Structure 1
Amino acid sequence: MPKTILVTGAGSGFGEGASIGLAHAGHEVIATAQIAPQVSALRDKACALGLDNLRAEKLDLLDAYDVRRALAWDIDVLFNNAGIGEGGPVSEVPVDLVRRSFETNVFAPLALTQGFVRSWVDAGRGGKIVFTSSVSGLFTPPGYAPYAATAHALEAIAEAMRQELRPFGIKVQTINPGAYLTGFNETTADTAFRWLDDGRNFTSRASMRETYNSLLATPQGRLDPCEVVDAMVEIVPTDEGRFRNVVPQSCEDMLRRHQTEAWDACI
């Protein structure tokens, strides 16, 4: 059945693609973006595609007035997709950057989610929450720990929520994409080079760039994002399915091996 779905972080990448795909599938979509230019661009795209059921709105998760307004919307599914990337060697990354990442990627979506959960519980109705996590929520590649730490935190929150909210008829899922070419991973890698200084840091800029190239400058690091968008369009509105959804299958296989091998890892 058609659902009313709120998508955060719909100004680009997976969020934009999923919003358009969900609207094409017949759902009522409230596609939200952080800044007004993204909202305007999304409205123009929806109009050009004839998607009267895609409504673009501004929602900066760190703006209390935006959040208050959003919590008044009547929705069936909250798709927490918004997030920022922060990279660099975790032993040297400025802690204020890590703190900001947690504010945007963890605390803000948690607050939004709590607001909708409370409204559903008070109304005696079910609902659904979907978090865009990452394969980095289940393992941590070098250079990505500042971002991966926030994804790990989302995994913990989602796993507990799934159990806590089941008695209220509220379902919880995660979607864990691999290294898809949306620009997010590349932009995350670039963040380190705005503070990494060969004159001060013991991690050299050259070695950090080599690390990122080894992860991203390969076919496995530049996958077609349409695969994840298609999966999101299928997973987000459904009432059944797996709690954790890793895309592609090769990444799920890698994570299973990694988690098994972790028990025997040596220092």
Structure 2
Amino acid sequence: MKNKIWFVTGASKGLGLALVKKLLQEGYRVAATSRNLEELKKAVGVNSDSFLPLAVDVKNEKSVEKGVWDTIAHFGAIDVVVNNAGYGLTGSLEELSDEEVRQNFDINVFGVLHVIRKVLPYMRKQKSGHFFNIASIGGFTGEFPGFGSYIATKFAMHGFSESLAAELKPFGITVSIVSPGYFRTEFLDASLAVPKNEIADYKLVREVQQVHQNDYNHNQPGDPVKAAAVMIEIAEQKQPPLHVFLGRDAYQLAEAKIKSVQQDMAAVKELATATDIDE
């Protein structure tokens, strides 16, 4: 049996499910969460002392707190946390209501913060631990029309994860921001919400939405089982990286964004750096 104890949210489908199955196959102890406990048990298909399925609503701090407490009570510790629960939301920013955007942030951002807050007292005490915060390549480059809300949640995750990594360094706790490209999961059919009130003028947004739902869906190049293996290997490294881009497409998009930023900086460098107060 491997030593590290994992806590994985959003584990009943997609990358979370692939990771939980891979971890159990390799002998790790795993607490896995989903809002639907029976769906989670059926999806994982394992009945073992090494597997603790939990019904957790990440939007509810008390629910998260109970899930963390139950994991500590069952396994004695939590060594690796995977903040994977989240969903996509399409629609132009003009189309999306305040309620729709706030719901997106409630799960994708505040749900992650709930887990971090409830786990950290235990990790600080043991002076070790590792967070995998599952963002997206859309949290690094935002040029996806119609995904502004989702992208904003993932940019937020990138930002607070970088700050979190700096805050936790004195305690021996590490953070990895995982930015996957397109992986062949149920994300584009089971986890993609659309706006309640569409505006006819946004033809480009509808085209991008249709491409994702019809053309990309179930044709994504990435293998979630291979992604899970990468994360497990990184968790065993002595100095795991802060930024983890998953997939060849994620690397291509990240490199294009970096090049674009460098070009923009160079274009106005002389002008933009001549802003110090003249003494």
- TM-score, normalisation: structure 2: 0.82
Q: Which of 71, 74, 86 in structure 2 is aligned with 1:83? A: 86
Identity %: 24
Counterpart Cα distance in 1 of 2:108 and 2:10: 11
Say if 1:131 and 1:175, in contact at 8 Å, map to a contact too: yes
Alpha-carbon RMSD across the aligned residues, in angstroms, is 2.5
Deviates more, 1:230-239 or 1:130-139: 230-239
Task: Give the match for residue 40 of structure 1.
Answer: 41
Counterpart Cα distance in 1 of 2:95 and 2:53: 39
Correspondence 1:232 to 2:231: yes
User: How far off its partner does 1:34 sit?
Assistant: 1.4
User: How far off its partner does 1:256 sit?
Assistant: 1.5
User: How far off its partner does 1:197 sit?
Assistant: 4.8
Say if 2:185 and 2:218, in contact at 8 Å, map to a contact too: no
- CA deviations 1:116-172 (Å, max 9, x no partner) are 112322x25211111111101101111111111000000001111111110111111
User: How far off its partner does 1:233 sit?
Assistant: 2.9
Letter in structure 2 aligned against 1:75 = I
Following superposition of structure 1 onto structure 2, how do residues 7-18 of structure 1 map, counting pairs within 5 Å?
7-18=8-19
User: How far off its partner does 1:70 sit?
Assistant: 1.9
- CA deviations 1:1-38 (Å, max 9, x no partner) are 52011000001111111011011112111111112332
Say if 1:32 and 1:56, in contact at 8 Å, map to a contact too: yes
Say if 2:22 and 2:225, in contact at 8 Å, map to a contact too: no
Counterpart Cα distance in 2 of 1:40 and 1:221: 27
C-alpha change, 1:135 and 1:58, in structure 2 (3 Å) is: same
User: How far off its partner does 1:264 sit?
Assistant: 4.2
C-alpha change, 1:145 and 1:29, in structure 2 (3 Å) is: same
Correspondence 1:192 to 2:165: no
Say if 1:18 and 1:229, in contact at 8 Å, map to a contact too: yes
Task: Give the match for residue 208 of structure 1.
Answer: 205
C-alpha change, 1:90 and 1:197, in structure 2 (3 Å) is: closer
SS in 2 for 1:210: helix
Counterpart Cα distance in 2 of 1:220 and 1:262: 32
Say if 1:60 and 1:66, in contact at 8 Å, map to a contact too: yes
User: How far off its partner does 1:186 sit?
Assistant: 4.3
Letter in structure 2 aligned against 1:211 = V
- How many residue pairs end up in the alignment? 255
Counterpart Cα distance in 2 of 1:85 and 1:192: 9
SS in 2 for 1:174: strand
Task: Give the match for residue 62 of structure 1.
Answer: 59
Counterpart Cα distance in 1 of 2:140 and 2:49: 38
C-alpha change, 1:128 and 1:218, in structure 2 (3 Å) is: closer
Structure 1 segments unaligned to the other structure (5+ residues): none
Q: Which of 141, 145, 148 in structure 1 is aligned with 2:148? A: 145
Larger radius of gyration: 2
Task: Give the match for residue 169 of structure 2.
Answer: 166
- CA deviations 1:49-108 (Å, max 9, x no partner) are xx5422211111123332121232221111111112111112321121111111111112
Letter in structure 2 aligned against 1:2 = N
Counterpart Cα distance in 1 of 2:219 and 2:155: 20
Counterpart Cα distance in 1 of 2:217 and 2:87: 23
Say if 1:89 and 1:143, in contact at 8 Å, map to a contact too: yes
C-alpha change, 1:71 and 1:56, in structure 2 (3 Å) is: closer
SS in 1 for 2:86: coil
Letter in structure 1 aligned against 2:46 = A
